[in-house]
Amino acid sequence: MPETSKEAGRTVVVGERELAIGFRLIGLKDVIEVTPENSVAEFQRAMTGGYTLIIATQSIRARLSDAQRSVADGSLDPLVVFVPTPTGEYDVESIEALAKRVLGVTLSVAT
């Protein structure tokens, strides 16, 4: 029988106004709206805020230092997922890279 006494994981969205509004409209309560000036500080606050999943825009990822980006990319608790910015500019993470980062496994196709 599944254990039901555990508290469900908490998700937070950290992003620009357009992204924040969208997630609020679908009912997510933990949404942090950021500006370019405060985005890194708010993201770091979310990293230590007890969340299990952080959804943040790639524009925030671009503003992180190399060390901060490395921590975010390797983090499993909380799991950090970067999504395209509202402007539509984005870098696509391959399925192989995502599996390696999240699961620690390398995907390969036999030829």
pLDDT at 1: 39
Q: Residue 7 has what DSSP assignment?
A: P
Reported confidence tier of residue 2, pLDDT bands at 50, 70, 90: very low
Residue showing tokens 């969340």: 51
Cα dihedral sign for 62, 54, 83, 17? Answer: negative
* pTM of structure: 0.73
As a whole number, the mean pLDDT across the chain is 83
Domains and CATH numbers, the chain: 11-103 (3.40.50.10580)
**SS3 state of residue 24:** helix
Q: Which amino acid is at 65?
A: S
Give yes or no for a contact between 69 and 58, defined as CB atoms under 8 angstroms apart: no
In Å, how far are 12, 60, 103 from 33, measured between CA atoms? 11, 12, 29
The per-residue pLDDT for range 42-96, each reduced to its tens digit, is: 999 999 999 999 999 999 999 999 999 999 999 999 999 998 876 655 555 666 6
